[in-house]
Chains A and B, each alone.
Chain A
Amino acid sequence: MSPPETVIRVEHLRKVYRHTVAVEDISFEVGRREIFGVLGSNGAGKTTTVECVEGLRRADGGSISVLGLDPQRQANALRGRIGSQLQESRLPDHLKVWEALELFAGLAPHALDWRELLVAWGLAEKRSASFASLSGGQRQRLFIALALVSDPEIVVLDEMTTGLDPAARRVAWDLIEELRDRGTTVVLVTHFMDEAERLCDRVAVVERGRIVALGPPVALIDEHAPDVRVVFTAGDLDVGWLRGLDHVRAVTRAGARVTVHGDGPVLSLVAAALVARGFVPRDLRVERPSLEDVFLGLTGHHVEE
C-alpha cells in the first residue's frame, strides 16, 4: 500500500542515551489517514522513536519531518497539529478532569469541544473528579482525550490501552477507527498484537533499535508466518488424499481430529474438496497465524505482557 500523502517521514533516526543505543537506525513513512503501528517489546526503541517525532527528544542522527516541518526547529508551526498521549506522565493530583481538558483546549490554537470528548471517552461521570482519584483506565482515557483536544492532524498514542479493561479497550478501538475515518492520522505504539492487527493499516516491528519488518499485518503474516491450519473432525473417514491439494503441505491426524497444514487459501480448497466428496464436517475451522507468530518468528521471543 502506498500512502496518499506522507505526513511523517523518519530517515535513519538514531538516538543514544549515554552508552545505550536506544534507536540504532530507523526509517519509515506514515501516510495521511493511516493507522500506523509501532510494535515491539519494552526497550526496543518504540517510545524513543515517537518522542523524537513529537519533538520531545532531539535525534542524534538522521532526519525527521512531520507535516513537512522539523519537530525541533519548527515546533511552533506544529502547535496543535500533533497530539500526544504520553506514557507515564501524570497530571497534578488536585487537578479535576474538566479543568485539565479545559486547560489544554485553551492552550491549543483551534481546539475541539472538550465536553464532547469527555462523553466520547466515558469520563462524563468523572468530570469533577481529581486526577489522583482516577483509576488507571480512567487516567489513560483522560490522556487520550487530552491528546485529541487540540484537534490534531496526527495523534501519537503510546500504549493507549494499557490499564484498560477488555470492554474499554474495544470502545477505544472503535473510537480510534472513527478518528481515522474523520481524517486523523494515528501512530499507535503498542505491545498488544491483537490491537495492532485489529487497528493498524501498517505496522513496523521494532527490535533492538531497528525495524525488522514493515507492512500491513496481513502481508507480514503471509510473509513471516504463512502457516495456516485447518482443523476438523473426520471420524473414521480417510482423508489422506487431502495431501494432494494445492496449498496443502501436510495432513496430521490425532484420533478423529484432522489438521491440514498449508498456506494462503487452503481453507477454501479443503472445504470445497470435502464437500465435493460428500463430506460436510460440522466443525471445520481455521487457525490463522497472528502478528504474535510473526513477532515470535522475527525476534525469537514473545513480546512481554
Chain B
Amino acid sequence: MERKLHPVRALTAVLRLTWVELKLFLREPTTAVFVFAFPLVLLFVMGEIFGTVEGSDISFRGFDAMDYYVPAYFGLVAASIGVIMLPAHLTGYRQGGVLRRFRAALVPMWTVLGAQVAAALVLAALGALLVWLFGWLVYGVDRPADALGVAVAFIVTTVCFAAIGALMGALLPAPRAAQGAGLMLFFVMLFVSGTGPPVEVMSDLMVTIGEWLPLEHAVVALQDPWLGYGWNGSELLILAVVALAASWGALRAYRWK
C-alpha cells in the first residue's frame, strides 16, 4: 500500500492532530487524576514517610528520599499516560470507528500514532514539571546534576510508554478492558519499580518482577543523571528497544484491524 505524504504536509497533520489530542486529554478526568494529581499525592505520602526520617537505615542510593523520588516520579507520570490513558483512548478510537474516519480521509496511521506520542510528551512534561515544583517547594529538592541527561532519559521513557500504550490500544478489545489492564499494570509497576517502597526494602521477588517491567528501567535511567551518576546507556538502550518493538507492533496491529 503506497500512501506517501509530503513531509511538510505530514508534519502539519501530526501537529494539528497533536493539538486536538492534547485538548481531548485535558478534557478527560482520568488525565487530571492519574497524570497530574496522583503522582503529587503519592509523592507527598512518600515525603511524609521517608522525607523526615533522620539517620534511617534506608539510603535511597546515598541521597535524601525526595531527591530519589522526584526523578523516579517523572517515570511514573510517563507510565500513567502510556498504560492508563492511551490504551483506553485508542481502543475507543478503534471501536468507535474514529480510526476508520481518519483512514477514509486518507490520514496515515503513523501520523495518528505520532500525534499520540507528541501529545504524551507534552502532557508528561507538564506532569513532571508539577512533580518537580512540588518537590522543590515542599521538600527543597535539589536541581538535577545533569539536566540534559534527565531530559533525554525523560523523552526516551515517555516515547517508550506511549508506544506501549499504542500497542495495548491495538490489542485490547474495548476501552473498559484497556482501562482495567492498564490500571493493573500501572499499580504493579508502581510497587516494584522503586516508585513505591524503596528498592532496599523490597523482596528479591519484587525486584525481579520490577526488572521485567519497563518502569524500573525508566526510574534508573532518570535517577542516574539526576543524582550525578551520569547517563545510563544500558537502561536507555532497553527503553529504546522496547519503544521500537512496541511501535512496530502497534503499526502492524492497526494495519490489520
Interface on A for B, CB 8 Å cutoff? 54-56, 72-76, 78-80, 84, 86, 88-92, 94-95, 99, 103-104, 106-109, 146, 150
* Residue from A78, A80, A94 having most chain B Cβ neighbours under 10 A: A94
Given contacts A75-B106, A79-B106, contact A89 B16 (CB under 8 A): no
Q: Taking the nearest CB of chain B, how far is it from the CB of A63, in angstroms? A: 17
- Closest A residue to B97 by beta carbon equals A89
A88 touches B97 (CB 8 A): yes
Our pick among A84, A89, A99, A108 for the contact of B20 (Cβ within 8 Å) is A99
Q: Taking the nearest CB of chain A, how far is it from the CB of B123, in angstroms? A: 15
What are the 9 closest A-B residue pairs judged by CB atoms, nearest first?
A89-B97, A90-B96, A94-B27, A84-B104, A79-B106, A106-B16, A89-B101, A94-B24, A103-B20
Our pick among B24, B103, B105 for the contact of A95 (Cβ within 8 Å) is B24
Give Cα A52 to B10, complex, Å.
Answer: 25
Q: List 22 A-B contacts (CB under 8 A).
A: A55-B104, A72-B1, A75-B1, A75-B2, A76-B3, A76-B5, A79-B106, A89-B96, A89-B98, A90-B96, A90-B97, A91-B96, A92-B24, A94-B23, A94-B28, A95-B20, A99-B20, A104-B105, A106-B12, A106-B16, A107-B107, A108-B105
B4 touches A86 (CB 8 A): no
* Residue from A55, A90, A108 having most chain B Cβ neighbours under 10 A: A90
Q: Is B93 in contact with chain A by the CB < 8 A criterion?
A: yes
Chain A residues with CB under 8 Å of B24's CB are 92, 94-95
Chain B positions 96 through 138: 1 when the CB is less than 8 Å from some CB of chain A, otherwise 0: 1110110111110000000000000000000000000000000
- Closest B residue to A87 by beta carbon equals B97
Chain B positions 9 through 35: 1 when the CB is less than 8 Å from some CB of chain A, otherwise 0: 100110011001001100110000000
Chain A residues with CB under 8 Å of B2's CB are 73-76
Chain B residues with CB under 8 Å of A146's CB are 101
Interface size for B (C-beta < 8 A) is 27
Q: Is B51 in contact with chain A by the CB < 8 A criterion?
A: no
Q: Taking the nearest CB of chain B, how far is it from the CB of A91, in angstroms? A: 6
Chain A residues with CB under 8 Å of B93's CB are 92
* Residue from B17, B23, B104 having most chain A Cβ neighbours under 10 A: B104
Chain B positions 177 through 208: 1 when the CB is less than 8 Å from some CB of chain A, otherwise 0: 00000000000000000000000000000000
Q: Is B92 in contact with chain A by the CB < 8 A criterion?
A: yes
A56 touches B100 (CB 8 A): yes
A86 touches B23 (CB 8 A): no
Chain A residues with CB under 8 Å of B28's CB are 94
- Closest A residue to B103 by beta carbon equals A56
Q: Taking the nearest CB of chain A, how far is it from the CB of B195, in angstroms? A: 29
B97 touches A107 (CB 8 A): no
Q: Taking the nearest CB of chain B, how far is it from the CB of A300, in angstroms? A: 33
Chain A residues with CB under 8 Å of B1's CB are 72-73, 75
Q: Taking the nearest CB of chain B, how far is it from the CB of A203, in angstroms? A: 23
Give Cα A45 to B20, complex, Å.
Answer: 35
B104 touches A76 (CB 8 A): no
Give Cα A19 to B16, complex, Å.
Answer: 41
Chain A residues with CB under 8 Å of B4's CB are 76
Q: Taking the nearest CB of chain B, how far is it from the CB of A155, in angstroms? A: 11
Give Cα A130 to B105, complex, Å.
Answer: 21
Q: Taking the nearest CB of chain B, how far is it from the CB of A59, in angstroms? A: 14
Our pick among B3, B5, B104, B107 for the contact of A86 (Cβ within 8 Å) is B104
Give Cα A281 to B92, complex, Å.
Answer: 63
Our pick among A56, A90, A106 for the contact of B104 (Cβ within 8 Å) is A56
Chain B residues with CB under 8 Å of A107's CB are 13, 16-17, 105, 107
Q: Taking the nearest CB of chain A, how far is it from the CB of B158, in angstroms? A: 22
Our pick among A73, A84, A95, A103 for the contact of B16 (Cβ within 8 Å) is A103
Q: Taking the nearest CB of chain B, how far is it from the CB of A115, in angstroms? A: 17
A99 touches B105 (CB 8 A): no
Q: Taking the nearest CB of chain B, how far is it from the CB of A73, in angstroms? A: 6
Q: Taking the nearest CB of chain A, how far is it from the CB of B19, in angstroms? A: 9
Q: Taking the nearest CB of chain A, how far is it from the CB of B23, in angstroms? A: 7
Give Cα A243 to B92, complex, Å.
Answer: 66
Give Cα A89 to B98, complex, Å.
Answer: 6
Q: Taking the nearest CB of chain A, how far is it from the CB of B88, in angstroms? A: 12
Chain A residues with CB under 8 Å of B106's CB are 55, 75-76, 78-80
Chain A residues with CB under 8 Å of B23's CB are 94, 99
Chain B residues with CB under 8 Å of A150's CB are 105
Given contacts A79-B106, A99-B23, contact A86 B100 (CB under 8 A): yes
- Closest B residue to A91 by beta carbon equals B98
Chain A residues with CB under 8 Å of B98's CB are 89-92
